[in-house]
Amino acid sequence: MWSRESLEAMGERWTGRVQRARDAIRPFRRRIVMFLAVVGPGLIVSNVHNDAGGIYTYAQSGAKYGNSVLWSLIPMTIALYVSLEMCSRMGAFTGKGLSDLVREEFGFRVTFFLMAAILLVNLGNVMSEFTGVFWASENMGVSRFISVPIAAVAVWILVVQGTAKWVERIFLTFCVVYFSYVISAFLAKPDWLISLLHLFPPHLMQYVPTMKQFVQVPKFDAQYAVILAALVGTTIAPWQHFYLQAAVVEKRVGPRQYPTTRNDVIVGSISCMVIVFFIIVCTAATLYVQGIHDIPDAQTAAIALRPLAGKLASLLFSIGLLNASLFAASILPLSTSYVVCEALGFESGIDRKFGEAKIFYTLYTSLIFLGAFLVLALGKFANTILLWSQVLNGFLLPPVLIFVLILVNRRDLMGEQVNSKGFNWVAWISTIAMIGLTLVVAYTSIHDLFVHPASGIR
């Protein structure tokens, strides 16, 4: 039996432990509170491009080359962080969006043509997201003619009727749902040690005697290079840079809060690649092992998982695809509206009412419903739509990255916050590599569209 004295003594011990724990975390409490206050833009923008096109590309790369593409995730994480960090830094230290700075520094004519290109490219991207919606819903037994209109209305209401803080919380919830891919990967029962080993370049690991027998070394030919280029092209998109900088400005992040925003970008970049890792591992452990090396779309990947990893894995893959498509279908039109309105001097922002920002909301509404309508009308060309969106992203990314690098190194604009020499080396090498790879994707995609119209990434 417990006596009163023993209970009091136990209570005192636990009180002491709680107090010691509080004392231990007190130095970090302010940092944690600050991080939670500004977290969002970096995490959201890094993960949102794990969309329908991205998931299809990741699934195809895992099915075709197994674990042998995993090594590319580490340099991709660095490249994603470097490009997004520069935009978040410019937003925090100038208080202006990227399209604002482009207009001020390069003139209205350059800005107008850039905005027109972004509008066209992002309409294609919105169409590819609604393509992902009907792929996922039809795998779950729901017709596209029901799911796509419902999805369009839902994402429209989300932004038009919500505040910036509420919308950001919903977007962060979307990020959490990506972990359905983690569960799918575990249900696929891969050899985790072999998968982790392939985070190192297999073409080098084959020369380590103790590792050679465990490493899968693909032929480094044109098709392998295209898959690597497609992985980069679907992970790093031009519109991400505009959205992130606009979001940093709208949250009123200044120089004092910037270190926390930079941590947000780091967390977002790493979490994005973790999700990509699990998608590739899932398809490598199922489709690749069973000899299914070519999948026409992400819906087929989800269906193919059923006999190999179970109905639950297939369902979770479809849920992840639907979540990714809805997430991107919400943000892409929003990003486009921010970019165009900033550049042309119109009022913009989720916290403004419809009457205060008519152009902003009209553009957002038009992109959503036009994109949804075109997907329903042109559904049989789903793969072509997705492929063209990748092509257009590939063409637009190089000038955007060059604009970012020129602006962030302007001392009259950024003061002491220009890139250091070391960071500039990393940034330019990453940018040149991304430009080269995305041009490879663009060229190959155009070749496939005209030479093999029914093909995807091969």
- pLDDT exceeds cutoff 90 at 407: yes
Residue 178 to residues 97, 272, 279, 316, 418, Cα–Cα distance (Å): 28, 9, 10, 10, 35
The pLDDT score that the predictor gives to residue 316 is: 72
Confidence category of residue 390, pLDDT binned at 50, 70, 90: low
Q: Does the model's pTM come out above 0.85?
A: no
CA separation for the pair 421, 328 (Å, rounded): 35
> What CATH number should be reported for the domain holding residue 344?
1.20.1740.10
Each residue of 106-137: pLDDT tens digit? 888 888 888 888 888 888 888 888 888 887 88
Confidence category of residue 313, pLDDT binned at 50, 70, 90: low
Each residue of 253-264: pLDDT tens digit? 888 888 888 888
Tokens 């959201």 map to which residue?
44
Alpha-helix runs per DSSP H in 188-310: 192-197, 202-205, 222-235, 238-250, 258-283, 298-309
| Structure token pair of residue 237 | 């998109």
| 351 contacts: CB under 8 Å, gap ≥ 6 | 163, 164, 250
| Structure token pair of residue 139 | 């795998």
Task: Report the pLDDT averaged over residues 178-193.
Answer: 79
| Structure token pair of residue 184 | 């799918």
| Structure token pair of residue 330 | 């919400």
> Which amino acid type is present at position 336?
T
Task: Map residue 369 onto helix, strand or coil.
Answer: helix
- pLDDT exceeds cutoff 70 at 58: yes
Assess contact for 411 and 169: CB atoms under 8 A.
no
Each residue of 75-89: pLDDT tens digit? 888 888 988 999 999
Q: Using CB atoms within 10 Å of the CB of residue 376, give its burial: 0 to 12 exposed, 13 to 18 middle, 19+ buried.
A: middle
> Is 152 part of a structural domain of the chain?
yes
| Structure token pair of residue 389 | 């969106």
> Is 5 part of a structural domain of the chain?
no
Confidence category of residue 142, pLDDT binned at 50, 70, 90: confident
Confidence category of residue 409, pLDDT binned at 50, 70, 90: very high
Tokens 């991400």 map to which residue?
240
54: phi then psi, degrees, rounded to nearest 5: -65, -45
> Is 64 part of a structural domain of the chain?
yes
> Is 179 part of a structural domain of the chain?
yes
Extract long-range pairs of 206-212: CB within 8 Å, 24+ residues apart.
none
- pLDDT exceeds cutoff 80 at 272: yes
Each residue of 344-379: pLDDT tens digit? 777 777 767 777 778 888 888 999 999 899 888 887
- pLDDT exceeds cutoff 90 at 251: no
> Is 2 part of a structural domain of the chain?
no
| Structure token pair of residue 19 | 């107090």
447: domain range?
Answer: 26-455
Each residue of 153-165: pLDDT tens digit? 988 887 777 655 6
Confidence category of residue 35, pLDDT binned at 50, 70, 90: very low
Lowest mean pLDDT among 4-18, 287-301, 329-343, 386-400: 4-18
Confidence category of residue 446, pLDDT binned at 50, 70, 90: low
> Is 13 part of a structural domain of the chain?
no
- pLDDT exceeds cutoff 50 at 150: yes
Q: How many domains does the chain have?
A: 1
> Is 401 part of a structural domain of the chain?
yes
Among 80, 402, 100, residue whose Cα is nearest residue 246: 100
Residue 137 to residues 126, 128, 132, 153, 313, Cα–Cα distance (Å): 17, 14, 9, 16, 15
More confident residue, 441 or 36: 441
> Is 17 part of a structural domain of the chain?
no
The pLDDT score that the predictor gives to residue 357 is: 79
